[in-house]
Amino acid sequence: MPDAGGIGYNDPADFPATRGEDRAMAKQSGNAVYRVTDVIGTSSSSWEDAARSAVKIASKSLRDLRIAEVTKLDVKVEAGKVVQFRTRLSLSFKYDS
């Protein structure tokens, strides 16, 4: 497969086929139960700012966030120019007991 220039390239072959099923279910580790959910952050300046924004806003509703995994990067294009960076994250958080 050709090199897409580094940052922002997501090859679907890199992701396991059952990943969606794994994310749809709560995960149990020891005596704690965790859930993984997807969120998308946006920014007019960078993918990093989009990720920070998504985590900041999600942390207001979801307590005890553990992991934020970047699963997709894309951009919105208008008139041939990038106008918005979008970062999709899988967030892992702990259920209250």
Q: Is the pLDDT of residue 26 over 60?
A: no
Amino acid at 51: A
pLDDT confidence of residue 56: 94
Q: Is the pLDDT of residue 3 over 50?
A: no
DSSP 11-46: -GGGS-TTHHHHHHS-EEETTEEEEEEEEEEEESS-
- Tens of pLDDT, residue by residue over 27-86, are 555 678 888 999 999 999 999 999 999 999 999 998 888 889 999 999 999 999 999 999
Q: Is the pLDDT of residue 15 over 50?
A: no
pLDDT confidence of residue 78: 97
Ordered by where they begin, the domains of the chain are 12-94 (3.30.1660.10)
